[in-house]
Structure 1
Amino acid sequence: MIVDPHSYTYRFADEGCSDARLVGGKGKGLGEMTAAGYPVPPGFAVSARAYRRFLDQDNLRRDIAQQLDGLDPEDYPAIEQASERIDTLMATSRLPADVADKIREEYAALGELVGADDVSVAVRSSGTAEDSSADSFAGEFETWVDIQGIDDVLAHVHRCYTSVYAPRVLRYALERGIDLSRIEMAVVIQKTVRARTAGVMFTLDPISGDRSRVVLEASWGLGLSVVGGEVTPDRFTVGKVGLSVQSRVLGDKRVEYRRGDASVEVPEDRRDRLCLEDAEVVAIAELGKRLEKRHGAPQDIEFAVDEELPAGENLLLLQCRPETVWSGVERAPAFDPKEKMMSWITSSITVPTKVQSGGGHRHE
């Protein structure tokens, strides 16, 4: 199939949705998982070309460049002011009519697919440099859940565009010498999952970097409570060999998001219960292990358990991207063939293992 690089949208199953240059890191991950037959809620990506089309009107590129010229990465007040001025510039420019029409067409098609006229969706930023191994923008851009109706969908696509120049993104880019004019914004529009439980999985231990384990952190409802730090999620560790649950740590789950607009209290009878059964933990870890093998590197994966789907069909993957903290760390071989075996055994017993604390996961 020939990919049209000029398209404004790509459905997850389209070949173009496996190209990060067209649909950003998040869109690429969803496209690849869909193409490979993994359980992914349906949706489509608004391409980076649509973002370029937006910037090509009203002298936006020129005016944004003027605001960024000479910014000092340590001058936070100036960064805040520049961000506010750019936000005003972008907010006063509407989505081009041809882009809006294509989004309207694809949103209607998604509604037909799932049997809902105004299907509830998540609108998620997907930057073209978001998940590179060198500079991860994961968590810097914006996501909204439970957006319903085409007018709100179009408004939130527009808001994704303005998030490229949010103060925290500007600081991140300036501190690392990244040219934001080279970063383009695609947008993922995906059916909202009615999550009983949601969380994140690393196909290594995010604290120690141990690649023999899969670690899951999850809480009740949508993943927003974990993202916002409103709960301490349950934590599960699974051994990759044999896929057995090695540990379960009960979290502190007092609030949950049943919808994307507000949190509610978790009933007391669920606060002291683990939010995943062992069989679910193992099934999710098995998906993670397969994705790691497919990509040839540790992965950072978001998942959910859909309460509206039957068991066996309710485990859904929401995102897959390279793990960025430990993946670039060079690991010393477990055994140096130049040394005698007994010397290696002795050193492994007498020298304590060095454990490095690693950064965690920033959700969106």
Structure 2
Amino acid sequence: MTYTVPFSELNKADIPTAGGKGANLGEMTAAGFPVPAGFVLTTEAYDAFVQAHGLQQQIVDLALKAATDDPQSNEAAAQKIRALFMQGEIERDLATEITTAYQTLTQNGDSSTSSDHRNAVAVRSSATAEDLPDASFAGQQDTFLNIQGEDALLEAVKQCWASLWTARAMAYRLRQGIDPASVSLAVVVQKLVAATSASSVQALSSGILFTANPVNGERDQILINATWGLGEAIVGGLVTPDSVVVDKTTHKILSRETAAKP
């Protein structure tokens, strides 16, 4: 079984194994958008890790015990589950497949940048149910930026898997009636965006575009959030971004809000 799949081989039909983020990156790559290259570590890799370490029943038991309104109980169970992931080693064949895909990805880097910066990737969680009509799981799991080197990559992959089991994510799935035994996670490994200088791996600016306005539910509006630096600051709620609302049909700017910046 192959656990790593490049964006060029993914589309919407692959959401069950590549997650929403991974499948959509495949769609955007096929459509010709300037998507930084990368690959997806499929949900089957997560399942293989869980099976290899006999974690499934332990996870389910802890998750069900945490199905209460007691925040302390929920957090304690979540920490125990995440520790199970971080204590385990990724099986050798799977680790080799991940690091080989990483080597192929980073060896195709820009020769004008240092080797360290060419090796930098983003390791991003890709849930199999990120954006549904009645629920949004986007932002529930973690992303890790500027990951360099094989050991750091493997550790970040485990951290992504473990982030499926934060108290917040578990509580949200409970409210949505999702069986903890059915949960799995894909991981996106993607070249970090181009640096502003040879000595920095910091993006000048970045943002998030919503093809329907999540603020008012209007599907004929586009919402753009943007800020200085990497987009994770927006996703993580660390900054208040600039916001622009655009009419899909006329492309007219309907509103613009500029946030205060340091």
- Smaller-chain TM-score range? 0.7 to 0.9
- How far the C-alpha of 1:165 sits from its partner, in A, is 1.1
Q: 1:80 to 1:212 in 2, by over 3 A?
A: closer
Which residue of structure 2 lines up, in the alignment, with residue 207 of structure 1?
215
Q: Deviations over 1:169-221 (max 9, x none)?
A: 11112222211221111100001113321112223333333344322121111
Residue 83 of structure 1, aligned match among 74, 78, 83: 78
- The letter of the residue matching 2:204 is R
The amino acid across from 2:132 in the alignment is S
**1:183 matched residue in structure 2:** 183
Q: Secondary structure at the match of 2:253?
A: strand
Is the CA contact 2:10–2:22 (under 8 Å) kept in the aligned structure 1? no
Query: Which residue matches 2:39?
Result: 44
Equivalent pair of 1:18/1:27 in contact (CA under 8 Å): no
Contact kept in structure 1, 2:128 and 2:186, CA below 8 Å: yes
CA contact (8 A) 1:18 1:31 kept: no
| Counterpart in the other structure of 2:242 | 234
The answer to whether the Cα contact below 8 Å between 1:17 and 1:45 also exists between their aligned partners in 2 is no
- Residue type of the alignment partner of 1:226: I
How far apart are 1:82 and its partner, in Å?
Answer: 1.1
Contact 2:10 2:23 in 1 (8 A): no
CA spacing shift, 1:56–1:87, aligned 2, 3 Å: same
**Counterpart secondary structure, 1:216:** strand
CA contact 1:199–1:226 (8 Å) conserved in 2: yes
Q: Which has the higher helix share?
A: 2
After TM superposition, the structure 1 stretch with the greater mean CA deviation from structure 2, 85-94 or 206-215, is 206-215
Among residues 247, 250, 260, which one is paired with 2:258 in the alignment? 250
Aligned position for 1:120: 120
Whether the aligned pair in 2 keeps the contact of 1:51 and 1:184 (CA below 8 Å) is yes
Query: Structure 1 vs Structure 2: percent identity of aligned residues?
Result: 39
**Superposed, which structure 2 residues align to 1:137-152 within 5 Å?**
137-152=137-152
Using the size of structure 1 for normalisation, the TM-score is 0.64
In structure 1, stretches of 5+ residues that fail to align are 1-5, 255-364
Q: Which moved more, 1:139-148 or 1:167-176?
A: 167-176
CA contact (8 A) 2:60 2:180 kept: no
How far off its partner does 1:76 sit?
Answer: 1.9
Task: Kindly indicate whether the alpha-carbon contact (under 8 Å) linking 1:42 and 1:190 is maintained by their aligned counterparts in 2.
Answer: yes
How many angstroms does 1:70 deviate by?
A: 4.1
* Shift in Å, 1:26: 0.8
Kindly tell me the number of residue pairs found equivalent between the two proteins. Answer: 249
**Pair 1:98-2:88 in alignment:** no
Quick one: which amino acid aligns to residue 192 of structure 2? T
Change (3 A) 1:206 1:59: closer
Counterpart-to-counterpart distance in 2, 1:17 and 1:54: 25
Cα contact 2:65–2:77 (8 A) shared by 1:
no
SS in 1 for 2:132: coil
Name the SS for the 1:178 alignment partner: coil
Q: Is the 8 A contact 1:8 1:50 kept in 2?
A: yes
- Residue ranges of structure 2 left out of the alignment (5+ in a row): 195-202
- RMSD (CA atoms): 2.0
Residues 46-61 of structure 1 correspond to what in structure 2 (within 5 A)?
Answer: 46-61=41-56
TM-score by length of 2: 0.87
- Please give the per-residue CA displacement for 1:130-188, whole angstroms capped at 9, x wherever unaligned: 23334321111000111111111111001111111111111112222211221111100
Question: 1:214 and 1:136 mapped to 2: Cα distance?
Answer: 17
* Pair 1:233–1:157, CA change in 2 (3 A): same
Shift of 1:246: 4.0
Q: In structure 2, what is the equivalent of residue 223 of structure 1? A: 231
Alignment partners' CA distance in 1, 2:103 and 2:48: 22
